[in-house]
Amino acid sequence: AAEGGPRDTAPGQQLRALFYALPPAESSFRTVEEVPDYVDKSIPFFITFIGLEFAVSWIQKRKLPGRINDGISSLSLGILSRLPDVLFRSIDLISYIYVWKNYRLFELPWDSPWTWYLTLLGVDLAYYCFHRISHEVNILWAAHQVHHSSEDYNLFTALRQSVLQKYTSWMFNLPMALFIPPSVFAVHLQFNLLYQFWIHTEVITKLGPLEWILNTPSHHRVHHGRNPYCIDKNYGGTLIIWDRIFGTFEAEDAKVVYGLTHPVNSFDPIMLQLRPLAHIWNTFWATPGFCNKLSVIFKGPGWGPGKPRLGLPEEIPVITGKEVPFNPPVPAYCNCYALVHFGIIVDLYTELLASISMLSQGTVLLRIGFIILSLASFGLLMENKPKAGILEIIRCLVFIGVYKLGYFRSQFSFLGYAYEV
């Protein structure tokens, strides 16, 4: 790469980045501009591992690890969460660089292995603190709950992310900006996120002695459970040692039932992002007393007047083992239709990422707006909502118009006519 530009990563390096297995010598950079975009470059590996998970699950259990509607919903939320980064630089980096430039106390060497390992621990501890608070403070939970809303547990679930969460997580990393260079932080911020992809699976059971140190699929299954013994446990990102130290660790025991204690029953990504905020708003105004109103925002999601900060454990719904995931009856052709059209949107999204520097701001906003419209339409189709067909017809007409005018472009030119059909 040119001096000061982002460096390319070989496929083998990118694969190892998914498992936090790139040592300091291969992942230390002088400037932030040189740091590769490991997350976006991992998309092919995400797809490969999802396919592998489907194959292994079929071989092991003779069933697939998830459902089409829930999988599309998870991927839609993942795309939605990344769209702000198309327009703006990550708020994590903006705030970190600002503190580094104006308030740093001293500067650790960017090329020292000790700095690399210290940042690994620092980023993971900051993630533990933020993750735990996100479960214990209602307004933060309103953003984070999106990730827990799936009633399936598979690699699709790893990509189910919140649009709003990044606007509260950044502050937990700022103490490191007093002494750790931004380029080192930028690497570990991505590695910590990428590591958490592969632990969202049921096809891996236990990993022996590694279970004592690392966050593993078994530990993270507990975190995603709505069984009473699973609630508010195993917050770690890469390491499980923080949970063991701070008393929030729980080993996997009874069969885990996934999702929220009060399921949202929706595949609409816009609804999943915003409905918890609407619930807090309504509860805030319905709760008497100024202090109680503040408690609605800053105490736990299970809190109510007269209850402890995190609510009453006995109010957590009992798991019977007969829970049925939200799965409204939809004709098979409708799910196939949503799947095919979602594939088109993924193509348009990845092409947008590849060509962002060559597009006008108006074209970028148009593409983002159409992607959001499409994801919302697919969610309504999979819920079999009465007006979903009308919205989908409008969406398709918009697509034909802007595609003919050249505002959309596929990565695969030979598919142009097929897209119009």
Q: Does residue 325 sit within a domain?
A: no
Give yes or no: residues 153 and 24 share one domain.
yes
- Per-residue model confidence (pLDDT) at position 4: 58
- Per-residue model confidence (pLDDT) at position 1: 39
Give yes or no: residues 300 and 172 share one domain.
no
Give yes or no: residues 402 and 372 share one domain.
yes
Cα 224 to its chain centre, rounded Å, is 13
How wide is the angle at C-alpha 273 spanned by C-alphas 189 and 316, nearest 5°?
A: 95
Give yes or no: residues 310 and 236 share one domain.
no
Cα 105 to its chain centre, rounded Å, is 33
What three-state secondary structure class fits 115? helix
Q: Does residue 142 sit within a domain?
A: yes
Give yes or no: residues 60 and 177 share one domain.
yes
Q: Does residue 353 sit within a domain?
A: yes
Give yes or no: residues 307 and 398 share one domain.
no
Out of 231, 246, 261, a domain closes at 246
Q: Does residue 112 sit within a domain?
A: yes
For the chain, the first-to-last Cα distance in angstroms comes to 41
Q: How many domains does the chain have?
A: 3
Minimal CA–CA distance to 129: which of 245, 239, 250, 236? Answer: 236
Give yes or no: residues 282 and 366 share one domain.
no
Q: Does residue 126 sit within a domain?
A: yes
* Segments forming the whole domain that contains residue 291: 269-315
- Per-residue model confidence (pLDDT) at position 5: 63
Give yes or no: residues 347 and 307 share one domain.
no
Give yes or no: residues 140 and 230 share one domain.
yes
Phi, psi of 214 (to 5 degrees): -95, 150
13/10 Cα distance (integer angstroms): 5
Give yes or no: residues 154 and 217 share one domain.
yes
What is the Rg, in whole angstroms, of the alpha carbon atoms belonging to the chain?
Answer: 22
Minimal CA–CA distance to 340: which of 298, 302, 289, 378? Answer: 378
For the residues of 157-197, what is the DSSP string, one character each? HHT---SSTHHHHGGGGGGGGGTS-HHHHHHHHHHHHHHHH
Cα 383 to its chain centre, rounded Å, is 22
Cα 115 to its chain centre, rounded Å, is 27
Minimal CA–CA distance to 384: which of 274, 277, 265? Answer: 265
Give yes or no: residues 297 and 379 share one domain.
no
Give yes or no: residues 114 and 146 share one domain.
yes
Q: How high is the mean pLDDT in each 10-residue block of the chain (421 residues)? A: 62 91 95 92 91 94 90 95 84 94 97 97 98 97 96 95 91 97 97 97 95 97 96 97 98 94 93 93 95 96 93 90 90 92 91 86 92 95 92 93 83 77 81
306/396 Cα distance (integer angstroms): 52
50/126 Cα distance (integer angstroms): 29
**pTM greater than 0.85:** yes
Q: Does residue 362 sit within a domain?
A: yes
Out of 212, 246, 280, a domain closes at 246
Q: Does residue 239 sit within a domain?
A: yes
Q: Does residue 230 sit within a domain?
A: yes
According to DSSP, residue 236 is labeled -
Contact by Cβ (8 Å): 235, 248: yes
According to DSSP, residue 358 is labeled G
